[in-house]
């Protein structure tokens, strides 16, 4: 080894396991740095007081009871999608088709409400639309899962393409059911009769969807952490060869896990039509299938952690909209702040897993980060 060769100025090593307290300290520190950077960007580009901007963002999400319930509605839907995607990603099945599976549930629910709304009482119509949505979401997930298990197809491309197919099918039926004719949309489904609409609990329109999302989150946490099926999908994610060696049927686990993902996405579609939006559009899913991937990844596929990462996403989205209105800023400015904060949050994962060492100088100890 050449002794005259200089040690690199910076080198990176894998960290040893650190405590959860240390992990969260790094994450919170990254958020504080991001807020400082956002404050600098705000001051330089808009000449506004960053404290006022942050206060406006908080007001946009928590400024009134109505705003809080709107935030909870958005969070519950995003959380449902994120929780649905978690088992597939933990199994290293890259399911990018959450949006299509939600749209399948949306279409099934809308079909039941439009075609059977004047024929069946709500006591029958609501459970029937739920079953239809669950079946449609599960079917949309089963197709790529079966092809993966049978022929080892590329699940990333397959599930991604299924999104576009679902969207175009929804667009086709919107034209069939459009009201008024030529409008290109169907409006509020059963607006006068409210046939198929979920009941309002305690005078709160969004309480039932929020409660359902909480129940699904708890179920998924228990399923992944304590059930035999959750253990099997974890083994498959670590190594399919190891899973086969210990007697796990990999194909069966893939299909079973994706059906579960599809069921929850279908349930989400049902909540969108029967519980919150009461309509069907090609954009009703609003990109949550992709956003849910980020929410799940930030939480390391822990359903309880997804509540926090999902809350961050929804808060930034609503806060960005609020500052655009309050200060007359372009909506893109809120997206810039969101992007900066996410950059630092995602970057914090690097410092959780790796340590940066700086070269020693004469008479000084090496500095570590």
Residues 107-131 have pLDDT tens digits of 999 999 999 999 999 999 999 999 9
**What stretch of H or E contains 90?**
helix 65-90
Predicted local distance difference test score (pLDDT) of residue 328? 87
| pLDDT of 364 higher than 70 | no
User: Cα separation of 306 and 313, whole Å?
Assistant: 10
What does the pLDDT look like over 187-228, one tens digit per residue?
Answer: 999 999 999 999 999 999 999 999 999 999 999 999 999 999
User: Cα separation of 53 and 21, whole Å?
Assistant: 30
Which residue reads 């989400």 in tokens? 268
Q: Is 264 within the bounds of a domain? A: yes
What does the pLDDT look like over 274-327, one tens digit per residue?
Answer: 999 999 999 999 999 999 999 999 999 999 999 999 999 999 999 988 998 889
| pLDDT of 9 higher than 80 | no
From the list 129, 73, 72, 80, the residue with the least C-alpha distance to 101 is 80
Query: Can you state the percent helix, strand and coil of the chain, rounding each to 5?
Result: 70, 5, 25
Residue 239 contacts residue 245 (beta carbons within 8 Å): no
What are the φ and ψ backbone dihedral angles of 120, each rounded to 5 degrees?
Answer: -125, 150
Look at the chain and report how many structural domains it folds into.
1
| pLDDT of 6 higher than 70 | no
Predicted local distance difference test score (pLDDT) of residue 238? 95
Residue 38 contacts residue 345 (beta carbons within 8 Å): no
Cα-based angle 127, 123, 81 (whole degrees, multiple of 5): 30
pTM for the full model?
0.92
Total Cβ atoms within 10 A of residue 356: 13
Q: Is 11 within the bounds of a domain? A: no
Predicted local distance difference test score (pLDDT) of residue 365? 54
Q: Is 277 within the bounds of a domain? A: yes
Using CB atoms within 10 Å of the CB of residue 78, give its burial: 0 to 12 exposed, 13 to 18 middle, 19+ buried.
Answer: buried
CATH of the domain at 156: 1.10.3470
Q: Is 108 within the bounds of a domain? A: yes
Print the domain residue range for 315: 79-333
């Amino acid at each position: 080894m050449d002794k005259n060769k200089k040690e690199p100025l910076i080198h990176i090593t894998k960290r040893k396991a650190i405590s959860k307290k240390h992990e969260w300290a790094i994450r919170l520190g990254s958020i504080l740095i991001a807020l400082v950077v956002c404050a600098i960007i705000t001051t330089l580009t808009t000449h506004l007081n960053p404290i006022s901007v942050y206060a406006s963002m908080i007001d946009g999400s928590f400024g009134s009871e109505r705003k809080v319930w709107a935030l909870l509605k958005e969070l519950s839907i995003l959380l449902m999608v994120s929780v649905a995607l978690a088992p597939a990603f933990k199994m290293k099945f890259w399911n990018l088709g959450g949006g299509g599976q939600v749209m399948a549930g949306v279409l099934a629910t809308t079909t039941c409400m439009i075609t059977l709304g004047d024929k069946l009482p709500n006591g029958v119509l609501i459970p029937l639309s739920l079953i239809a949505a669950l079946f449609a979401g599960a079917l949309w997930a089963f197709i790529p899962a079966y092809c993966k298990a049978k022929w080892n197809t590329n699940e990333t491309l397959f599930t991604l393409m299924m999104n576009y197919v679902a969207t175009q099918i929804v667009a086709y039926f919107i034209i069939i059911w459009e009201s008024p004719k030529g409008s290109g949309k169907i409006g509020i489904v059963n607006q006068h009769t409210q046939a198929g609409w979920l009941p309002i609990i305690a005078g709160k329109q969004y309480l039932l969807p929020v409660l359902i999302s909480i129940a699904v989150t708890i179920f998924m946490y228990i399923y992944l952490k304590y059930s035999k099926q959750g253990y099997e999908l974890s083994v498959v994610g670590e190594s399919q060869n190891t899973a086969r060696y210990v007697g796990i049927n990999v194909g069966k686990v893939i299909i079973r896990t994706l059906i579960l993902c599809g069921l929850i996405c279908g349930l989400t579609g049902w909540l969108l039509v029967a519980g919150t939006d009461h309509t069907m559009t090609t954009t009703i899913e609003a990109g949550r299938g992709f956003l849910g991937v980020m929410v799940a990844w930030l939480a390391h596929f822990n359903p309880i952690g997804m509540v926090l990462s999902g809350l961050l996403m929804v808060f930034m989205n609503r806060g960005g909209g609020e500052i655009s209105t309050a200060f007359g800023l372009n909506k893109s400015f809120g997206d810039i702040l969101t992007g900066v904060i996410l950059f630092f949050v995602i970057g914090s994962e690097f410092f959780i897993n790796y340590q940066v060492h700086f070269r020693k100088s004469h008479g000084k100890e090496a500095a570590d980060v």
